[in-house]
Amino acid sequence: MELLLFGLAALAAAALAYLLSRGKPKDETPKAEPKDDEIPDAGEEEPGHAAGSEPPREQPRYQARTAAAIEKIADRIVFAAGVGVFKDMKVGEMLVPSPIPSDEIGIRPIREIAEIPQTLPDALAVDDDRFYAALAAHRLPVIEYQERVDVREDITGQPRKILVLIVDVSGSMGEDGRIEWAIGLCHAAIKRAIAANAEIALLPFTGRPGTWRHAVGKDECLLLSNRLTQFLTPDGGTSIRLALDEGIRFLAEETFTDRQILLITDGDDNVDAEGTRNALSSIGAVLHTVCIGPGNPDLQQASAHYDLLA
């Protein structure tokens, strides 16, 4: 009897221990938040995204204005490898029916009775039997007005890549070493572009866009890099919106397979975030924004990559 009671007690204890282990709460101790310079990257963007599609966006990064930050930002400028895809290129022309009279005129067999008024005069000047026989057999020649339209296709070829540097040179950029740091970032970005055989276009801006400087080939790009201090002299106000519009217009008018924009500013000018994002998407451009000092929520929304530096 004692052995039976002992066995039952052991079984009960084991069952209780099992139930308690199943109901054990998980460790809910909060994990330490990463420091600003430990914020993990959101992953490399797929370079060369198609026009009309929106590139993936990453979380904004907050960091100090250091040489290390320059390298981190420059590393985000990634060009597509391999052959280039030129989107929606004109490859020829074709004639299509025109709904209104035009200078282009074609002759074709009749398709329906409603087209009898378009019959050629010579075909009307026959006896009724021959006329209706030709009509029944769809052999009556009729006039068709035509118009020329472009034939457009995506074509592959030698890639044409470009990095557009849109740099704020307003008066405030001359304070606290901002323009010197911005020039350092431009040097690093140009180095990345040269390694990728990309062209460089520089657009300084104040209250309005400045003068474009476009470099093609390694020698021209190095010359542009060496003259940045001459081209980037702080003076005037700030209009980020006008500068971005000008940069997008430039990229839309040229045939590139890979379009990257690096915008550097310390301004808080209002920007149409949705309109800018849609315009960039329509031409397949990637916007990297670097804000020195105050942040800009509009630019954060419009950019694929956004860095805020103290």
Q: How confident is the model at residue 306 (pLDDT cuts 50, 70, 90)?
A: very high
Same domain as 108, residue 41: no
Burial 24-42 (b: 16+ CB within 10 A, else e): eeeeeeeeeeeeeeeeeee
Same domain as 213, residue 170: yes
Judge contact between 302 and 243, C-beta under 8 A.
Answer: no
Q: What pLDDT does 166 receive? A: 98
Kindly state the average pLDDT of the residues 85-96.
76
Same domain as 213, residue 250: yes
Same domain as 223, residue 114: no
Q: What pLDDT does 81 receive? A: 75
Q: How confident is the model at residue 11 (pLDDT cuts 50, 70, 90)?
A: very low
More confident call, 43 vs 155: 155
Same domain as 246, residue 167: yes
Predicted TM-score of the model (pTM): 0.63
Q: What pLDDT does 203 receive? A: 98
Gap between the Cα atoms of 220 and 223, Å rounded:
5
Pairing state of beta strands 61-63 and 213-215? unpaired
Q: What pLDDT does 27 receive? A: 45
Same domain as 49, residue 127: no
Average pLDDT, the chain: 81
Same domain as 169, residue 262: yes
Same domain as 282, residue 134: no
Pairing state of beta strands 213-215 and 258-265? unpaired
Using alpha carbons only, what angle is made at residue 216 by residues 215 and 218, rounded to the nearest 5 degrees?
100
Q: What pLDDT does 91 receive? A: 72
Q: What pLDDT does 201 receive? A: 97
Provide the CATH number for the domain around residue 194: 3.40.50.410
Q: What pLDDT does 280 receive? A: 95
Look at residue 293 and tell me if it is in a domain: yes
Look at residue 211 and tell me if it is in a domain: yes
Kindly state the average pLDDT of the residues 52-56.
55
pLDDT tens digits, 268-305: 788 999 999 999 999 999 999 999 977 889 999 999 99
- Amino acid letter, residue 132: Y
Q: What pLDDT does 5 receive? A: 42
Look at residue 125 and tell me if it is in a domain: yes
Look at residue 52 and tell me if it is in a domain: yes
- Sequential DSSP letters for 275-309: HHHHHHHHHTEEEEEEEESS--HHHHHH-SEEEEE
18: nearest Cα among 26, 27, 8, 10? 10
Crossing angle (nearest 10°) for helices 273-283 and 240-253: 20
Residues 6+ apart with CB under 8 A from 269: 238, 239, 240, 241, 296
More confident call, 23 vs 280: 280
Of all residues in the chain, the percent with pLDDT exceeding 90 is 43
pLDDT tens digits, 111-154: 998 888 888 888 888 898 898 898 889 988 988 989 988 887 77
Same domain as 106, residue 75: no
Q: What pLDDT does 52 receive? A: 52
Same domain as 165, residue 199: yes
Same domain as 284, residue 239: yes
Q: What pLDDT does 188 receive? A: 96
Same domain as 219, residue 177: yes
Q: How many domains does the chain have?
A: 2
Q: How confident is the model at residue 13 (pLDDT cuts 50, 70, 90)?
A: low
Q: Is the sign of the CA dihedral 112, 113, 114, 118 positive or negative? A: positive
Continuous H helices in 23-144: 67-74, 121-124, 128-136
- Domain housing 147: 90-153
146: nearest Cα among 190, 104, 180, 99? 104
Judge contact between 258 and 77, C-beta under 8 A.
Answer: no
Give Cα separations from 29 to 26, 32, 38, 148 (angstroms): 9, 9, 21, 71
